[in-house]
Amino acid sequence: MNNFDASAQTLSLAIFCAVVSITLLLCIMTSAEADDLGEFYTGYRSLSPTRNGLAIAGDYISAATVLNTIGIIALTGYDGLILALSTALSLLLLMFLLAEPLRNAGKFTMGDALTRRSPSRSVRITTSAVTLLALVPMMVVQLAGAGYLITLILGFSGEGVRTGCIIVLGLLMIAYATIGGMKGTALIQIIKIVVLTGAATAVAILVMDRFSWSPGELLSQAQQGSGAGPAFLSSGLQFGTDLTGRLDTISGMLTVVIGAAVLPHVTMRMYTAHSAPAIRRAMSWAVGVVIYVVLLIAVIGVGATALIGARDIAAASPQGSNAILHIGQAVVEGSGTLSTLVFTAIATAVFLTLLSSVAGMTLACASSIAHDLAAHGVHRGGLSAAREMTTARLAGLGVGLAAIGLAILVQDWTLQALITLSFCIGASAITPALVYSLFWRRYTRTGLLATLIGGSLCVLVLLTFSSVVSGGPHALITSRDFSWFPLHTTGLISIPAGFLLGWLGTVFSDRRTQQREQQRYEAVEPRILAGTDAPG
């Protein structure tokens, strides 16, 4: 299953080198001045709504979204399709509820949005910690996966080669983030989403052509290839059909819908729009592109089951993460030139997706460390622009090197727990904090800290004692079993807990504090909700 055509691998290597050279040159050409924070953090808000929308879609569609979702669809059918739908719904929810208020309230980072109504060093520091907790695990997962996938695509083998790929890709992501800043990463995201959409469209067309453009025939063959028969198109293959399995499915859907779109590397794109109408148009583009990509992912995932079979997909990768590579050969089997071109297009799209996703996360972490933690947390706003820029670039280097080191250490582990951690933190800590901060007049600093800290701790405790960490066949730790939490995601418990803790922290604040917070909110309410005097 893992032997690809040698000519396709050679062509893929040549294209990889060309992509790296071109994108690095673009980053250098768009790099910010040494003391120009506006250019580094937001690119002067100069992107048009169309380009900004494509960049948002590029940041949102991560390697985990593409590779893991296709694999889950191929192995679990209906449950994977629901996960894909949840991914699209999450960005749609962000567009209608949070995008414009976030743009109006924020300046450079999520910390700016959360402290717009209640300036506080403790909130800045906590926000930076939550940002790192949400993004670093996903960076590690994608770097570790990148080492495996790149060696697979290029036909290499051995742990040393995988380690080398992780280091090279990690250094590239650091360069993109620290040199290019917002403009540089936006260009890479735009290139990535265009290439990914084109490659996925080609594969989806070839899949449908194999089944005479009959969705019914495709689904029928997928049922046979799954080995599960009609159960492939019913809920339960992923977590089971008992009460715990159904609750697990609901929890996973809820976590993705509420948590995926609020991760800091996505929300930072809201601050790059020059006006409220611009962010609405940009989000319209982003949602449209994401929905289209999700539809393509659904066709490819089902097509992989129909053409390859769930058993062979699972044999090649237990999580099905390389199903997209194998279907690229399956849809044009026996056609040498076309097979080479399709495989190369898919390989290029996967490479760009891996590279750009981690670069965006690195920039978000670096921005939060420099702006929230250093400039406003430690130095109380007294850090010069030049020093803050230097801090941001050093922070990007530090976070990137830490992610590289962790990815090398855990490259042979099953890392689903880390992806789950990121989405659960987004759903249980970040979303409640943003909703309350942007819309609740009496929300206090105590309530905000209770939401961020309490929601995160709830996720960490429950996830630590779940089967994705220990006890399960695909757990992070397989040698021991200390799990007692029955679900694979914590959202069903931790999301209500995050909202409840924020409410309790507020209502138990003294009346004077609540009144003061309400007055502060009313002073900035026109800016947050209507865009009056918003940064532009």
Counting DSSP H helices and E strands in the chain, the numbers are 25, 0
Better-scored residue on pLDDT, 157 or 416 = 416
Tokens of residue 71, six digits: 């694999």
Tokens 């280091």 belong to: 167
Dump pLDDT digits (tens) for 99-126: 999 999 888 899 999 998 878 899 999 9
Does residue 536 have a pLDDT over 50? no
Tokens of residue 489, six digits: 């995601």
* Residue 56 CB partners (closer than 8 Å, separation 6+): 266, 269, 282, 283, 285, 286
Does residue 199 have a pLDDT over 70? yes
Asked whether the beta carbons of 310 and 75 are under 8 A apart, the reply is yes
Cα–Cα distance, 418 to 495 (Å, whole number): 18
DSSP per-residue letters across 288-314: HHHHHHHHHHHHHHHHHHHHT-HHHHH
- Beta partners for 477? 470
DSSP element (H, E) containing 56? helix 49-60
Segment among 307-311, 341-345, 360-364, 506-510 with least mean pLDDT: 341-345
Neighbours of 266 (CB within 10 A): 23
Q: Which domains does the chain have, with CATH numbers?
A: 6-31+39-530 (1.20.1730.10)
Cα–Cα distance, 455 to 134 (Å, whole number): 12
Torsion over CA: 97, 134, 504, 525 (sign): negative
DSSP per-residue letters across 461-522: HHHHTBTTTBTSTT-SB-S-----B--SS-HHHHHHHHHHHHHHHHHTS-HHHHHHHHHHHH
Task: Say what the pLDDT of residue 371 is.
Answer: 93
Cα–Cα distance, 56 to 289 (Å, whole number): 10
Q: Choose among 407, 419, 439: nearest CA to 525.
A: 439
Angle of helix 159-175 versus helix 6-29 axis, rounded to 10: 30
Dump pLDDT digits (tens) for 222-270: 999 999 999 999 998 888 889 999 999 999 999 999 999 999 999 999 9
- Which CA distances in Å does 389 have to 129, 371, 374, 396? 19, 9, 11, 11
Asked whether the beta carbons of 410 and 140 are under 8 A apart, the reply is yes
Does residue 417 have a pLDDT over 60? yes
Mean pLDDT, rounded, of the chain? 89
* H-state helical runs in 157-242: 159-175, 181-210, 215-226
Residue range 212-226: mean pLDDT, rounded: 94
Cα–Cα distance, 358 to 490 (Å, whole number): 24
Tokens 């609740």 belong to: 440
Asked whether the beta carbons of 361 and 265 are under 8 A apart, the reply is yes
CA angle 260, 487, 69 (to 5 degrees): 40
Report the length, in residues, of the chain: 536
Q: Residue 84's pLDDT band (boundaries 50, 70, 90)? A: very high
Dump pLDDT digits (tens) for 2-23: 556 677 788 888 888 888 888 8
Cα–Cα distance, 170 to 113 (Å, whole number): 30
Dump pLDDT digits (tens) for 399-413: 999 999 999 999 888
Cα–Cα distance, 178 to 40 (Å, whole number): 9
Q: Choose among 510, 515, 502, 62: nearest CA to 321.
A: 62
Tokens 């509820």 belong to: 97
Cα–Cα distance, 124 to 129 (Å, whole number): 9
Asked whether the beta carbons of 114 and 355 are under 8 A apart, the reply is no
Dump pLDDT digits (tens) for 435-475: 999 999 999 999 999 999 999 999 999 999 999 999 877 78
- Phi and psi dihedrals of 466, rounded to 5? -105, 170
Asked whether the beta carbons of 104 and 529 are under 8 A apart, the reply is yes
Q: Residue 147's pLDDT band (boundaries 50, 70, 90)? A: confident
Cα–Cα distance, 329 to 322 (Å, whole number): 12
Task: Say what the pLDDT of residue 396 is.
Answer: 95
Q: Choose among 388, 353, 352: nearest CA to 373.
A: 388
Dump pLDDT digits (tens) for 273-331: 888 889 999 999 999 999 999 999 999 999 999 999 999 998 888 788 888 888 877 88
Cα–Cα distance, 475 to 278 (Å, whole number): 43
Residue range 126-146: mean pLDDT, rounded: 94
Counting residues of the chain whose pLDDT is more than 70, the rounded percentage is 96
**Exposure letters 161-178 (e unless 16+ CB within 10 A, then b):** ebbbbbbebbebbbbbbb
Residue range 25-42: mean pLDDT, rounded: 78
Task: Say what the pLDDT of residue 424 is.
Answer: 97
Q: Choose among 418, 428, 94: nearest CA to 262.
A: 94
Termini Cα distance of the chain? 53
